[in-house]
Amino acid sequence: MTEHKRVKAGEKVGPGRYVCVDCGKTYEMTDAEQDLRHCPACSCEMYDCLPITHIRSDIKTPEDAVNPPKR
Ligand SMILES: [Zn+2]
């Protein structure tokens, strides 16, 4: 099951990875809560949110975060 939340620019978001739905750029948030900004690359305001808890050193792409590679 791949399930991630979709969030919009302007919302207060917690730590995690935010992937622009339009151009695929990934932004990492590490602070507790901050306003999500429009994508600097394409001005898109919708992001897919990936939980930061799944981030490992061998995960480089949002797809890996959703389906972590087997070691
Ligand atoms: Zn973008």
pLDDT per residue over 18-53, tens digit each? Answer: 999 999 999 988 888 889 999 999 999 999 998 766
Q: What's the 38 CA to ligand 1 centre distance in angstroms?
A: 8
Cα of 45 from ligand 1 centre, angstroms: 8
pLDDT at position 69 over 60: yes
Q: Cα–Cα distances in Å, from 45 out to 18, 20, 35, 38?
A: 11, 8, 12, 5
Per-residue pLDDT at 33:
86
What count of other Cβ atoms lies within 10 Å of the Cβ of residue 18?
24
Determine if the pTM surpasses 0.85. Answer: no
Give the number of other CB atoms < 10 A from CB of residue 1.
3
Cα 39 to middle of ligand 1, angstroms: 5
For 56, the token pair is 């490992």
Distance 47 CA to ligand 1 centre (A): 8
